[in-house]
Amino acid sequence: MGRGSSGLQSAPPPASRSAVRQRFDQLMREVAKFGAVGGTGVLVNFLVFNLVRHVTDLQVVRASVIATVVATFSNYVGYRYFTYRNRDKSHRTKELSLFLLFSVVGLVIENGVLYAATYGFGWDSPLQSNVFKFLGIGVATLFRFWSYRTWVFRALPAEEAVADAESFLERRGQAEKARIRQRVG
């Protein structure tokens, strides 16, 4: 009786592990690029936030919203032309509309954390404001990464088809090599 019939799972064949590894590596490259653009956006966000707080008499959350809006526009340029430059560009109006929609949700998440800390708990010192702004950015970033890659900067259908075809051909090649080894050995 083979392993499959006894209910035990065997390890995936080498070809499928390779395909999984390729997709994982691709995701890690995307995360790194998203992080590079996002890191730049965080610097812009904090620079504008602290500048507005020190130069104007605006309340902390209003200063944060202004900073988030400025960072959002700089991030769009980075995501479109660096992180997701190979993604579908045929529907720019829809892409920008979705980007702005999800960015507004991210803005609410980010500044909601700051609002709760400032007005809910009275934590309004410059250090506390920066800490809670940073926490809000972190939570909002998780949402933004998921929404931007899923809805805004969609993979081209041809890219997905090519990746699937390459994976299929690689698995088929591995299976053929295994059959030849069985015949020879």
Burial label for 16, CB within 10 Å (0-12, 13-18, 19+), is: middle
Taken in order 75, 80, 81, 83, the sign of the CA dihedral is: positive
Higher pLDDT, 131 or 180: 131
Which stretches within the chain are classed as H helix?
A: 14-55, 60-78, 92-115, 126-147, 157-184
Q: Does some domain include residue 2?
A: no
Per-residue pLDDT at 162: 60
* Per-residue pLDDT tens over the stretch 84-135: 888 887 888 988 999 999 999 999 999 999 999 999 999 999 999 999 999 9
Higher pLDDT, 170 or 111: 111
pTM for the predicted model, two decimal places: 0.70
Work out the percent of the chain whose per-residue pLDDT is above 90: 55
Q: Does some domain include residue 149?
A: yes
Higher pLDDT, 10 or 134: 134
Asked if residues 75 and 106 have their Cβ atoms less than 8 Å apart, the reply is: no
Per-residue pLDDT at 2: 46
Q: Does some domain include residue 3?
A: no
Domain range enclosing 93: 13-184
Per-residue pLDDT at 3: 47
Asked if residues 23 and 181 have their Cβ atoms less than 8 Å apart, the reply is: no
The total number of structural domains in the chain stands at 1
Higher pLDDT, 92 or 39: 39
Read off the pLDDT band of 161 (50, 70, 90): low
Residue with tokens 């730049």: 40
Q: Does some domain include residue 6?
A: no
Per-residue pLDDT at 113: 97
Asked if residues 37 and 75 have their Cβ atoms less than 8 Å apart, the reply is: yes
Q: What is the mean pLDDT of the chain?
A: 86
